[in-house]
């Protein structure tokens, strides 16, 4: 079982990202779960989304999770949200930030003993440059593909195109661009 926790603000696409990841994973024959804790969420409120991935049917419906991956798609939440809650000694963090990894870690005490498991990518900047809006979910998927090694990039892009097939070609292309850029830039 692989468990993923997304830290996001309502409207940044964490739920869509989690479901998109689920869509792709399901095509590999694996079982997935994607859900979110919304709060009575308004746009901008902090929220969390979750994925579970397994070979067996997933019958665990608890919200409690000890994540294998923590994906932070809002730069400020790395500071204000408890992103290391219920983590494990192997939990990997992918954080969106315009800052360099060392600088970011130096500012967040809970990450300081985890520097080998922290990865940084500027999803906001990438989404602005590729998609034209601050929707950091697609770039985060690219970074996740790289760090997790769960898929080859080309395979993921191919499946993601099918998931997005109902959108105009321009949107599909820009999302592919965002995923690829983040895949290459995450450190």
Partner 1 sequence: MAEKYDLQEVEVWDGNYAAAHALRQAQVDVVAAYPITPSTPIVENYGLFVANGYVDGEFVMVESEHAAMSGCVGAAAAGGRVATATSSQGFALMAEVLYQASGMRLPIVLTVVNRALASPLNVRGDHSDMYLGRDSGWIQLDAFNAQEAYDMTLCAFKIGEDASVRLPVMVHQDGFITSHTAQNTNPLQDEEAYAFVGEYQTYQEMLDFSKPVTYGAQTEEDWHFEHKAKQHKALMDSRAIIDDVFEAFEKKTGREYKRVESYMMEDAEVAIVALGATVETCRLAAQQLRAEEGIKVGVVAPRCFRPFPFDKVREALSDVKTVCCMDRSSPGGAMGALFNEVSAALYSTKNRPLVTNYIYGLGGRDFSVEEAKRIMREQKAHADAGYITTAIQQFSGLRGPKLGFFETNRR
Q: Which residues bind partner 1 (CB under 8 A)?
A: 18-19, 22-23, 26-27, 31-36, 38, 40, 57-64
CB of 12 to partner 1, least distance (A): 17
Q: Which is nearer to partner 1, 50 or 183 (CB)?
A: 50
Q: Hey, is 121 helix, strand or coil?
A: strand
List the structure tokens of 33: 């779960």
Q: CB-wise, 27 or 184, nearer to partner 1?
A: 27
Greatest CA separation found in the chain?
Answer: 44
DSSP per residue, 36-91: EE--S--TT-EEEEEEEEESS------S----SEEEE-STTHHHHS-TTTT--TT-
Least separation in angstroms between residue 14's CB and partner 1 is 13
Closer residue to partner 1, CB minimum distance, 36 or 135: 36
Cβ atoms of 10 and 72 within 8 Å: the answer is no
Output the smallest distance, CB 11 to partner 1, in A: 16
Minimal distance, residue 55 CB to partner 1, in Å: 12
Q: Give the DSSP H or E segment for 94.
A: strand 92-96
**Nearest to partner 1 of 33, 180 (CB atom):** 33
């Amino acid at each position: 079982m692989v468990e993923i926790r997304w830290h996001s603000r309502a409207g940044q696409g964490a739920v869509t990202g989690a479901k998109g990841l689920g869509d792709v994973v399901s095509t590999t024959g694996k079982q997935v779960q994607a859900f979110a804790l919304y709060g009575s969420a308004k746009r901008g409120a902090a929220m969390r989304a979750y994925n579970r991935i397994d070979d067996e049917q997933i019958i665990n419906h608890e919200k409690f999770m000890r994540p294998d991956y923590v994906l932070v798609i809002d730069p400020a939440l790395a500071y204000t949200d408890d992103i290391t809650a219920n983590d494990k000694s192997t939990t990997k963090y992918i954080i969106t930030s315009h800052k360099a990894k060392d600088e970011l870690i130096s500012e967040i005490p809970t990450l300081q003993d985890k520097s080998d498991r922290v990865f940084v990518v500027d999803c906001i900047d990438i989404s602005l440059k590729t998609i034209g809006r601050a929707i950091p979910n697609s770039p985060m998927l690219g970074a996740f593909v790289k760090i997790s090694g769960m898929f080859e990039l080309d395979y993921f892009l191919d499946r993601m195109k099918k998931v997005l097939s109902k959108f105009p070609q321009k949107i599909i292309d820009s999302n592919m661009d965002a995923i690829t850029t983040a895949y290459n830039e995450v450190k």
